[in-house]
Structure 1
Amino acid sequence: MSTVQIYVLQTPQILLDGEQVILPYKKAEALLFYMAIEKKATRDQIAALLWDSCDEATAKKNLRHALYTIRKIFHTDLVSSPTRQTLELNPELMFLVDYDAFMEKRDPSLYREELLGGFYIKNAYPYEEWLTMKRGLAKEAFLRAIYEKMQSEADLSVAEGETLFERYVQEDPLDERVYLRMMEIYESAHLYYKGIRLYQQLVNLLNTELRVAPRREIRELYRKLLHVWSEEGEKEEEHSGEVCTGRERELQLLQASYRQFLSGSPTSVLLSGKSGVGKTYLAERFLEEITEENTVILRAVCLENEQNIVLQPWNTIMMQVNSLLKKQDFALDKKYLQAAELLFPLFDTQDVKEPVLGDTTISYSYRATRNLLIKLFEEIGEQVLVVLFFDNIQFMDETSLEFLSLLIRAKNPNIMVLATSPCIFIQPLRTALKPLLKEECLQEITLFPFTREAVRKILAGRLGEERVSEEFLDTIYGETSGNALYLKTLLDCCGDGRLEAGDITPLNQVWEQKMAALQKKTRQVLELISSCQAWADMDACMQILKCDEMEILDAVDELKEQGFIKEQQDSEKVRFFFCHDSIQKFVHTKMSPSKRRVFHRKLAEYIEGLPLYEANRYERLIYHYTLCGDREKALEYRIRALTEYSYRYYELYPLFPAGGKKEVQMDSVLDYCRQLEEELLELSQRNPQKESYLKLHVSLMQATAQYCIPQGYYEEGAQYIEKALKSNVLAGDDPAEKIRCLRFLIYQQTNLWKVEHTEEYLEESLVLAKKNGLQEDYAITCRLYGLYLSMKGRFEEGMEYLVKSLEFFKNAPLKSRIYALNIAACYNYMGEIRRKQRDFEEANRYYRQAVATCDSNHCPCNATFYSNMGRSYLAMGKTRQSEEALYQADRVYEESFTLIGRSITKGYLAVLEAEKGNKAEAVRYLEEAMKSAHQFASPYAKGLLALTEAELLVRFPEDFRDILTEPVEVYKERARRCLEEIPGAYEIRWLEDI
């Protein structure tokens, strides 16, 4: 007897004796699935279900054909006809239908997916109605089976309960019964905090969806869980004093904060106190107590030597996140992962990691990327609780500090932040943390040096009460002032022998004695590690000191025993760190200046030999070359670092003042660039024949222009490019560099609509690119040529160049997001050509393609696309669609510094807000429009702004008279003067309606 297996509660499929059989058309499949579920039917029923739009004769004919097809494919009658009018499954065959097994056993594991999920047939509405009804019944049975299993099985584990609960709420997230049962399971397992968090999730869900509170039984259980958890927590805190002598109160405060976090409250804690007071020790002891399997701890130590490396603490965190994602299967949006990859090149999403090349018209926004990263942490927090620990945040770079501040201010209940810092905040800390403390987003726990009595207690615990005389206590306390680090150092030196007050070695001699006792090779290892910016690894020690692995390991073991250093596993490497930065400073300063220079040069040369993708390569080279006195090399890498960041996104510029410390606070990026140029020119004057100085000057000038032009500093940008062109000629006239320089001039001229020399620059760029085989540059230039021609009103010629550009980028392998961004930009310019020709439907089609290209390649969409789309809808009279697009453009503008189209969007939104009666918002939008139009300086933007100003003054005179002080005719004339010379500026006709 043949066996037919029919699966309808997973991916629909039909198997005959274990082999899958595929029917040639959907309605034959639908017939078999119906019979598998219902077992019997009349011919009239089936005909009406599947062919109701046909006449009766045709429907019956189609049914006969379907039955014939099934018989032909399976070589037997799966559906038999005991009478002329009835159909049933062939009783001579064995049918195994997963639907039957589920309905009989009511085992939730048999319900893999929705009944016939994804199965759809056209032109069969009655069949769809039947299927909808059956799906509902099957789902009800599935949910009932889950709930009964959660209720009836006394030995159900927490993990099994959570699995069943998750499956239930995926189908019915608002059923309070299953939340109550899961909270009871947590109560039985003494996991009170999980029940509390589940209740709070339910509260938020019911409030969002239904605006109601949970029912009485759930509220009562919640109060019970809170009470029991509070009582148990107090007992734990009483016991905790045994493991953290002298810091019992502070540890209890930390534990209370953590309990608050587990209960679902946003929690961020700052441990503050003097250096060496024990902040890190206390934090680590607290973190050791966190044993919840659903909580991960991510750590980063902020080091003084790394405080000028942009996002370095977050780089450390993201490497741990990367490892976490590889171990656990999280459901995360791909765009969030790619945002992480963009800011942190070593973050591995298995995608190509080429940087976005510098193109000011399609720049990749740091703000947008940063916001996506915050979303990434939110998504991780939805799946596992996260504790972020940052040690010594006084050494955080300002960008990292800003990101941390934003994350804390988001008040995510699934992310706890723990940080340490001194009590006296330096300026960046004061700026970032004071508002958080004032707004109660951040709780501060201050650690003070141990009191005399606390020191007595610690000494008695270590040496015995009888051995702590008053004189001995006075000596120890006087030497350490209650500082935890100093106290530990002295106690480690005491040993177990009987000590008198006079036996205590002054603290400033302890480390010298320890160093003096080291063997020569061990001391060299110690001094080399102290010369590293943050850490050292085995390879660096072996290569620089010319030792084998065992010699280094012996030295490391001895240094660990003496309390100098510690080891830490980072990804696949073991790294060596000092136990405290004060010890590192002490060892480093004890070296002779000549030895320090040698070590720093050796380390710089070692790092130069590492792969180019090595993390923070430039920053480390800058540090070591600066400290070994090689000013030329340090300057070279400062310029290279600046250039690399400008290629990624012009908005994030790292500052690397001399010496690796922020001795001088730069007023702006331009100040820093000018300082670098002055240093470079000074060096080149000493050696004017050195070609490398000229190439560095070209890179520096381009990086500076990359910042200037998008920000509206057009004259300065052009001046820097002129300098770059001159230096490039002297350095050998590199064609790729010349094209890049010309491109900046093209950007400047198109933004200002001063295009007298633009065609000349475009032609020269095309010739150079073609002659030297620079295909990508040729395609980018074609795109810009299309933009230029559209500005001149030569629309069809412009379209031809855009098609050329598009063909290259669409046919080239997508090795970089710059390709996707160029494709999107081409579509946008094509849309602009059609919009200016008043073909608004076609324009919108191109705009939508631009947006879709960004979405499909996980690139932040340029706000200009939405802005242009909104303007096109507005011209068509589609007010709702226009409003949606313009507000979306505004949201994207707020996440970037893009100026193109900003003032136009803000101006239109000012009108929309004024029409809604929102005077304050309308005025704000108008002020922003005026500011960005002035900064961008485009006559088109200025003309449309003047048009908007005239409209607002005519329609809403009382609202805008204070800000628009000129007569309305002045604004109209200004709009006319700006727009009349611009081809395709159809908006000028609107003046007649004002």
Structure 2
Amino acid sequence: MSPIKVQLFGTPAVYADGAKVFFPFRKAEALFYYLVVNRQASRDELVNILWGELTEETARKNLRNALYKIKKAFNADVLVSPRKAVIMLNPALDLETDLAQFSGRGKTDLEVYQGPFLQGFLVRDGDAFEEWMLQKRNQYQERYVKLLYEEIKARNCAQLSVDEPALRLIEVDEFDEKAYRILMRHYADTGSYNKALELYERLCSILERELGVQPEEQTAALHLEILHKRDLVVKSVKAEREAFFFGRQQELNRLCRAFNAFLETGQTRAVLILGEAGIGKTRLKEVFFNNLRTDFCLLEAYCYQAEEEFLLKPWHPIFSRLVTLVKEAELTLPVAWVSNIAAFFPSFALASAGQPEMETKEPGHFDYQYAIDAILSILALISKKRTLILALEDLQWMDTVSRNLLKNILLNRDLKLFFIGTSRSGYGTGTEGWLSPLAKEDRLERVELQRFSLEEVGEFATRYLSELKLTQQQVRKIFDDTEGNTFFLIEYLNSVRDKGRLGAMSNKALDILKSRFVDVSQDGMKLLNLLSLFFHRVPVDILLAITGKDRQEIMEALEELELKGIIRETANPDKVSVEFTHQKLREFIYNQQPVFKRRQLHEKVALVLERNLRDEHRDILLYSKLIYHFSEAGNTAKTLKYRLKNLNLYLDYCHELFPTVIDFSGKPEKTFIVSNDQLLKYFREIESLLANLDAAGDDLQILDDRMSFLYLKGRHLIRQGDYKEGTRLIGELARLAGERDNRELIIKANLQLIYYCIQTHRVADMKHYLGVVTQVNENDQASETTGILLRLNGLCHLMSGELTKAEELFNQSIRFFSDANITMEKYALNIAACYNYLGEIRRYGKEFAKALNCYDKALGISEEKKVFRSYSLFNTCAGQAALGLGDHARAFHYLKRAIKHYEQSDLIWRRSVAESYLALLSVTAGGYNDAYRYLESAEKFADKMQNPYESGLIYLVKAQIRAKMHGNPELSAVFHQKLDRDLAFYCRQGLEVLKQVPYCYESKILKELALEGGTGLK
């Protein structure tokens, strides 16, 4: 007879000769299982247990049918009836059951118990059978539980792991707290504290949900004990990790010497730590800070590759910290300082807390030059009271504007601080170049870290793994695998420490990293996957919002990762944040995730961050993050949206001489100027995004984005003197805005075309565009546009030579903007502009003294309101008036001040005038080489502007210098090549150009000069 195998634990099954036996109906199968367990039974017993609800005749008939079906299923007499009243298993059967094995007649009992007796087996109308089945199930389960506890006891005696039998106990009875305690204790004893705590939380949840009770006192006490142990271990591991420092003592000594020199001299000193990624730059810096015995204030920040294109991003945390230092130093800051700095760094607005309420400035309503001066002044004040240390990591990722700000801080002689910067070797950041003034004065220390040698790796590993004895061969393997890089060396040795032995690790860096995450829990890995999306520290509140988990769960997972040295908590006064201990760990985790998964997570993160937008100036802090996450999520529409918003921050000005908002321009040594190449790169990126959206299908939102882009790029190109392309783009914007009846954009587009006309002196075109704006604005006479139109119409009349009408309109504009209902701060520069133009009217009438009074009013408003956007222009005009008075000293003062501010901005209107007149004054003073340089520069800016008045004045100055060359060999030696034509040529060219500006008195000067020189011109 074929061998028969019966499985009663877990899902039941019967096999005959290796093939599964299928019973025709459930009660026949139940009858067979009953006899397998009891070996035999009377017919009455079987009838009662399976068909007790039926009449005796029907029940016995069903029994006979079942016996027949069983025989047919096996095709053999597996059941026999030695007596008519009894049915039993055929003694001749070759029968094997897991029940027999579990009862001690086969292999180990625990191995055969694969689940509850007859798990999932149900019999319809078989209450008696079910009662018997449950009684047997409990009987066997109790035996199984007893065996598990015996197994745990045996394993404890043999010092073996008890997690498997303990987990089985919990699987059998999820309310068995004794089993939970055994497993919690085991996890704690093996260092898996977070697993133990996670298990406790699971128990609490089950008890609360199912029974509405709390864990037993004994279990709760164990939980507290494990919490305490884990905290001690975390502190111990942190202390051990922080205490270990090897092989960089010489470099550390150099940092200490530089710091001592800083303390002794009171002069700013800088240390630049260079080296490849993972070489130990940050660790060296941290050890230096820990070893300092001097009380100091630390301003620290990190530069990230993903934020390289976003201006000033590294400085935001520094200015948040600066608020605290200001309050600790009990400094009372001028409102203008705080408001101007807060325009760039919104968190700095808190520095005015407790002081008189400051005027809130919207984005763009600020002056960069004044903000820089304020920043330097505040740092200087703090540095007089406290020892100030500025630390910036990964300078190779710092944007150029941030780098210029750092340069201004380090080279300012009114403040003293100690600077430490780290940078990767080979990135050509130019850091050392712009710090050359410090280097020349021996105030820059360059520290470059090298990889460890074979001998150093051996000593490092021996000290790090003091519990293991390493052979020279093993040291060689460690050296070959890590190549002496500190990061890979530590990760390699951490993996060895976790395993307790030096195993056969691959020599691939990827496998070194992979080994660090082998024992991380599932929840820990999920959190790491999420953390890896962020290139900077992550507030725990953000993790809570994204995951939807409670704080306890998140904190336990974070503590597990911190204990393993994968992440670290960062100190923030207002919130808890975490970050990877090294960027290479973050990059590894990030790159291990499938692209589709990363995209989903990036989208989720971006949507959570987007909810934090408040439609206020502080939103700029989120734009770079939103661009990064939406871009990585493949969300082109949202990426475009925030790229446009971010770019608008850089170009936030109305492109006229006197905008209602101040642009990103006035700044010492061009600190905040965005290069034209960088802006063009931004434009190309946006054009690419627009093209991708067009390919996906056009809609109204794409059209809105396209119009925003046309406005941004068009006004920028006009500003740069690329009039052809700039006006084409603005013209396209005007057309699209007209089709959609977008009044705001129609006005903006035509205003840009008006500014183009101002720059190029196109009076007729200017009148046309003014008419368009006036018509669109006719139903909104109270708007700011009305006041701007009054000034622009006045300027148009001035450019036409209609001086009386121009003066009337300028005065109307002043009254409009001086009205109590208009924000004086916002439109201060418009009022100053009107006074400047009134000065122009006086100057054109040769009333130079009255003109100077008007110019000084314009300058006074700029100084009072701390808006220096057009300060250079006002000084240029004042310089011209002073020249008209014959006051050369005063003219030189105005013009030099104008050049100083031109050099601090990207404004070029009238710059050629200032440069050319300085050339003339330099000739008068005998500074011929300076004069030559000024004239060269003047020509460059005049060519760019293409303005007839500026070009005409260049010819006037050339003519005046050419006249002075007669009888002056020294002057001729300098200018003979540049001014190689006769006086008549320059007079003739100047007069021809100035025909377009009939109201200017400079034409008369040219004619007089021509007559004096005997040129024959009239």
TM-score normalised by length of structure 2: 0.68
Confirm or deny: 8 A CA contact 2:339 2:361 kept in the other structure.
no
Partner secondary structure for residue 271 of structure 1: strand
Corresponding residue to 2:589 among 587, 590, 593: 587
Confirm or deny: 8 A CA contact 1:752 1:939 kept in the other structure.
yes
CA distance in 2, matches of 1:651, 1:800: 32
Change (3 A) 1:330 1:556: same
Change (3 A) 1:507 1:699: closer
CA distance in 2, matches of 1:759, 1:421: 55
How is 1:928-943 mapped onto 2 (pairs within 5 angstroms)? 928-943=937-952
Confirm or deny: 8 A CA contact 1:357 1:818 kept in the other structure.
no
CA distance in 1, matches of 2:293, 2:828: 45
1:357 shift after superposition: 5.2
- Alignment-mate amino acid for residue 669 of structure 1: L
Whether 2:282 is the aligned partner of 1:280: answer: yes
Partner secondary structure for residue 299 of structure 2: strand
Whether 2:313 is the aligned partner of 1:309: answer: no
How is 1:243-322 mapped onto 2 (pairs within 5 angstroms)? 244-264=245-265, 265-293=267-295, 295-322=296-323
Corresponding residue to 2:461 among 459, 471, 474: 459
Partner secondary structure for residue 467 of structure 1: coil
* Identical aligned residues as a percent: 26
How is 1:204-223 mapped onto 2 (pairs within 5 angstroms)? none
- Alignment-mate amino acid for residue 673 of structure 1: F
1:842 shift after superposition: 2.6
Change (3 A) 1:330 1:606: same
Change (3 A) 1:815 1:631: same
CA distance in 2, matches of 1:498, 1:602: 40
CA distance in 2, matches of 1:592, 1:795: 71
Match of 1:480 in 2: 482
Match of 1:962 in 2: 977
CA distance in 2, matches of 1:561, 1:470: 31
Corresponding residue to 1:834 among 842, 847, 853: 842
Match of 2:209 in 1: none
Whether 2:720 is the aligned partner of 1:705: answer: no
CA distance in 1, matches of 2:470, 2:823: 70
Corresponding residue to 2:686 among 669, 676, 680: 676
Corresponding residue to 1:635 among 640, 643, 647: 640
1:898 shift after superposition: 1.2
Deviations 1:565-622 (A, max 9, x none): 1222345232221111100000111112221011011111112211242343222122
1:318 shift after superposition: 1.9
CA distance in 1, matches of 2:790, 2:745: 17
CA distance in 1, matches of 2:648, 2:280: 41
1:395 shift after superposition: 1.5
Confirm or deny: 8 A CA contact 1:814 1:820 kept in the other structure.
no
How is 1:312-391 mapped onto 2 (pairs within 5 angstroms)? 312-330=313-331, 336-348=337-349, 350=352, 351-355=358-362, 370=372, 373-374=375-376, 376-391=378-393
Change (3 A) 1:528 1:678: closer
Confirm or deny: 8 A CA contact 1:368 1:896 kept in the other structure.
no
Match of 1:775 in 2: 783
Match of 1:644 in 2: 649
Confirm or deny: 8 A CA contact 1:408 1:441 kept in the other structure.
no
Change (3 A) 1:435 1:517: same
1:816 shift after superposition: 7.9
- Alignment-mate amino acid for residue 471 of structure 2: S
Partner secondary structure for residue 346 of structure 1: helix
Whether 2:900 is the aligned partner of 1:898: answer: no
- Alignment-mate amino acid for residue 297 of structure 1: L
Whether 2:623 is the aligned partner of 1:621: answer: no
CA distance in 2, matches of 1:320, 1:545: 29
CA distance in 2, matches of 1:671, 1:556: 39
Whether 2:890 is the aligned partner of 1:881: answer: yes
Match of 2:742 in 1: 734
1:719 shift after superposition: 0.9
Deviations 1:24-51 (A, max 9, x none): xxxxxxxxxxxxxxxxxxxxxxxxxxxx
CA distance in 2, matches of 1:391, 1:724: 43
Match of 1:763 in 2: 771
1:806 shift after superposition: 2.0
Match of 1:991 in 2: 1006
Match of 2:959 in 1: 950
1:346 shift after superposition: 3.2
How is 1:383-402 mapped onto 2 (pairs within 5 angstroms)? 383-402=385-404
CA distance in 2, matches of 1:742, 1:434: 47
1:993 shift after superposition: 4.2
Deviations 1:661-717 (A, max 9, x none): xxxx994534542553354255336423x1112211221111112212222222222
Aligned-residue Cα RMSD (Å) equals 3.0
CA distance in 1, matches of 2:436, 2:820: 51
Match of 1:523 in 2: 525
Partner secondary structure for residue 963 of structure 1: coil
- Alignment-mate amino acid for residue 387 of structure 1: I
CA distance in 1, matches of 2:527, 2:468: 41
Match of 2:423 in 1: 421
- Alignment-mate amino acid for residue 864 of structure 1: L
1:524 shift after superposition: 1.9
1:537 shift after superposition: 1.8
Corresponding residue to 2:987 among 963, 969, 972: 972
Confirm or deny: 8 A CA contact 1:753 1:939 kept in the other structure.
yes
Number of residue pairs the alignment of both structures matches: 735
CA distance in 1, matches of 2:985, 2:429: 47
Confirm or deny: 8 A CA contact 2:480 2:507 kept in the other structure.
no
Match of 1:567 in 2: 569
CA distance in 2, matches of 1:678, 1:500: 52
Match of 2:759 in 1: 751
Confirm or deny: 8 A CA contact 1:330 1:383 kept in the other structure.
no
Partner secondary structure for residue 572 of structure 1: coil
1:758 shift after superposition: 1.5
1:783 shift after superposition: 1.7
Whether 2:686 is the aligned partner of 1:687: answer: no
1:474 shift after superposition: 2.4
CA distance in 2, matches of 1:573, 1:817: 36
Match of 1:443 in 2: 445
Deviations 1:519-543 (A, max 9, x none): 3333222111111242322232122
Partner secondary structure for residue 346 of structure 2: coil
1:879 shift after superposition: 2.5
Confirm or deny: 8 A CA contact 1:786 1:798 kept in the other structure.
yes
- Alignment-mate amino acid for residue 677 of structure 1: E
CA distance in 1, matches of 2:708, 2:802: 35
1:743 shift after superposition: 0.5
Change (3 A) 1:317 1:650: same
- Alignment-mate amino acid for residue 517 of structure 1: D
1:745 shift after superposition: 0.6
Corresponding residue to 2:609 among 607, 610, 614: 607
CA distance in 2, matches of 1:306, 1:674: 18
How is 1:796-835 mapped onto 2 (pairs within 5 angstroms)? 796-812=804-820, 817-835=825-843
1:802 shift after superposition: 2.1
CA distance in 2, matches of 1:476, 1:756: 80
Match of 1:859 in 2: 867
- Unaligned 5+ runs, structure 1: 1-240, 359-363, 654-664
How is 1:524-563 mapped onto 2 (pairs within 5 angstroms)? 524-563=526-565
CA distance in 2, matches of 1:695, 1:968: 55
Confirm or deny: 8 A CA contact 1:334 1:858 kept in the other structure.
no
CA distance in 2, matches of 1:568, 1:633: 30
CA distance in 1, matches of 2:687, 2:806: 39
Match of 2:199 in 1: none
Farther off after superposition, 714-723 or 319-328 = 319-328
